[in-house]
Structure 1
Amino acid sequence: MLTTNGSTTLREDIEVPLNLPFTLSQLQLMEAIARTGNFTKAADQLFISQPTASQRVHHLERDLDVTLFYRSHQKVQLTHSGEILLGYCHRILGLCQDAQKALLEQKNLEAGNLVIGASTTLGSYLLPRLIGHYRQLYPQTPVQLQISTTPQICQGIADGQTDIAIVEGHIPFKLRELTQVTMESEEPIVLILPSSHPFTSIRSIGVQDLYKLKFIVLDSQHPHDSVIDPDLVIGDVDLERLQPDMSFGSLEAIKNAVQFGLGAAFVPSMSIQKELELGLLHQVDIQNLRIRQKISVLESLKHCRPSSTDLFQKQILKSYFHSSIDEQSDAIAS
């Protein structure tokens, strides 16, 4: 049983039929006629014909059993009953506009809450730029960026704690049935050397030249005796002949070590753009050898996501991934 603020009680099992003698379209028409003082002008504003407008008013007056307008050749005027109904027209149509506005504001609020997950390299070097583009389009929308390992980010998507994720490498097998990949691309892994190294004077080196270098590796991803993941390499190279010399705990530490002449390293291309522009590092091409890391955009299969996810994907990620694919095609062609 429901109780109002007063003493009146309403029973939940009683259905009160709402048989109104008018429709919203009739109220809109009445408001337009009262505003313009003319059936034809009101019909034009509502994109209906004048006969249709006259018929709707006739049906409204019939169902209400009142006369709403005084009609003359010069002008249409409201009767006293028409004045009363017009006041309610303004209130009813105003409430309809308020309801529409409230729902739109709620939709925009939901669209703004965006939780993005990213694996370490992507979260550090790619996502700030992409989120910057997104905030230019939607400056009021709150965005949260979660950076962690690929398995942890994938788990966040599966659990519904993250709306969308961009990860590198393989998605854990146990999470594949709970997630879906919506886009894929590849990020080049490139060879960097100190700016003072002799190889910087030549455009590209051969595979045999790699065996002469001392490499710095990331100890959190590769064992000390492995320079690069074999699954990323396309080309004829003996990875066992590559010489790992030192390992560091972060990509930034590796770049600094190379900069100060401690060795060479394979790093994601996106992570060294600033250093290349400043001349702190040198990137060297390797003949007949390509190293690529797969990048995937991930969403949950079971959890609902806000509309902001689709906006971010269509307006930001789609553009980035398409341009990335075009660059890869140009590189292969050249």
Structure 2
Amino acid sequence: MLDLRKLEALVAVMETGSFSRAAEKIHLTQPTISGHIKALEEYFGLRLFDRHTRAVLPTRAARILYEYARKLLFLYREMEREMAYFRGEKTGKLDLGGSTIPGHYLLPRLIASFRKVYPGISVFLKVGDTGEIIERVREGELELGMVGAREEDPELEFKPCCEDEIILIAPPDYSVSPVSLEELPRLPLIAREPGSGTWKTVLRVLEKEGLDTAQIRLVAEMGSTEAVKQAVKAGLGVAFVSRRAVEEEVAKGELRVLPLKNLHIRRHFFLVYPARRTLSPPAQAFLNFQESQLQP
């Protein structure tokens, strides 16, 4: 029998490349994932994955089925949202996304407060970089996202929700003399990946101030804020990060803030959601709740 849970398992395996990671992603056991994939293979009479010791490789049939499965799951979620809207329910599930800083330092506390007011709503938080979260909202996999940069897209609404400050950090034994814009290209700089909202904001501000960012001396690129912090602690270089992400380390003396001469990098975090789709009652409830908790 073909059902949505089996298709959800297929999508998860395709997107994670692993049965175990797929199980973690959709909160099932690995044997259950394997059983769902086997049932799909029996239903269609086709092999969907070549299983090797270190990898799970999708067949051509699996790639085609994946595209249809994503569309069916999207339509199903859309149907559930529309029906819940007419019932006016304040229960159910909310798929929420957060880029690195909101996902680690803002949303967990906000979700905890939200659940005290709406105990009937379960929140599933996906953390990724800004580009990934925006894309997942665009594709309908997430209803809402909180990200560190906006894009121009008529299909999406970006609503400022709170402010953030980006600072330059260094190892604790680094000189604390203020850094000018002219001195910045001489420093060994650790960057985030291109999809990072923090890094996009830094580049935009520096270019606006007249700095040729091609002159920046990049010594490494890291895929997470935590990796950046550890690299700075190890003495690899300096880095731009959200102040929210290093408050504890700075207070303990594990990292040092390098003041910037006549330069302050501030940005807004944005809530992103579809501009032309009806939000489910749980999503609308969260949207309204955060407005009472966060100051733009």
- The TM-score range, normalised by the shorter chain, is 0.5 to 0.7
Identity %: 25
Q: TM-score, normalised by structure 1?
A: 0.53
SS of match in other structure, 1:303: coil
Give the C-alpha shift of residue 212 in structure 1. Answer: 4.1
Say whether 1:292 aligns with 2:269. Answer: no
| Matches of 1:213 and 1:142, distance apart in 2 | 45
Deviation per residue, 1:91-115 (Å, 9 max, x gap): xxxxxxxxxxxx9xx745x444222
- Residue 162 of structure 1 pairs with residue 139 of structure 2: no
1:178 matches 2:155:
yes
Aligned residues: 208
Unmatched tracts of structure 2, length 5 or more: 1-83
Give the C-alpha shift of residue 275 in structure 1.
Answer: 1.4
Which position in structure 1 is the counterpart of 2:75? Answer: none
Asked whether the equivalents of residues 195 and 280 of structure 1 are also in contact (C-alpha less than 8 Å), the reply is: yes
Q: CA deviation at 1:255?
A: 0.6
2: CA distance, partners of 1:215 / 1:182: 31
The unaligned stretches of length 5 or more in structure 1 are 1-102, 326-334
How is 1:66-105 mapped onto 2 (pairs within 5 angstroms)?
Answer: none
Once the two structures are superposed, residues 25-56 of structure 1 have per-residue CA deviations (whole angstroms, 9 ceiling, x without a partner) of xxxxxxxxxxxxxxxxxxxxxxxxxxxxxxxx
User: Max radius of gyration: which structure?
Assistant: 1
Judge conservation of contact 1:235–1:290 (CA < 8 Å) in 2.
no
Q: 1:232 — aligned with what?
A: 205
Match of 1:120 among 95, 100, 108: 100
Task: Kindly report which structure 2 residues correspond to 1:23-42, keeping only aligned pairs within 5 A, or say none.
Answer: none
- Which position in structure 2 is the counterpart of 1:259? 233
Task: Report the secondary structure of 1:272's partner residue.
Answer: helix
Whether contact under 8 Å (1:220, 1:249) holds in the other structure is no
Match of 1:279 in 2: 253
Q: Which amino acid aligns with 2:216?
A: L
Corresponding residue of 1:73: none
Structure 2 distance, partners of 1:178, 1:138, is: 29
Query: What is the alpha-carbon root mean square deviation over aligned residues?
Result: 3.0
Q: Secondary structure at the match of 2:121?
A: coil
Partner of 1:134: 114
> Closer, same or farther in 2 for the Cα pair 1:262/1:227, shift >3 Å?
farther
CA distance in 1, matches of 2:238, 2:171: 7
For the residues of structure 2 that align with 1:166 and 1:211, how far apart are their CA atoms? 31
Deviation, structure 1 residue 278:
2.2
- d(CA) in 1 for partners of 2:182, 2:212: 9
CA distance, structure 2, for counterparts of residue 213 and residue 148 of structure 1: 28
Single out whichever of 186-195 and 120-129 deviates more from structure 2. Answer: 120-129
Deviation at 1:294, TM superposition (A): 4.2
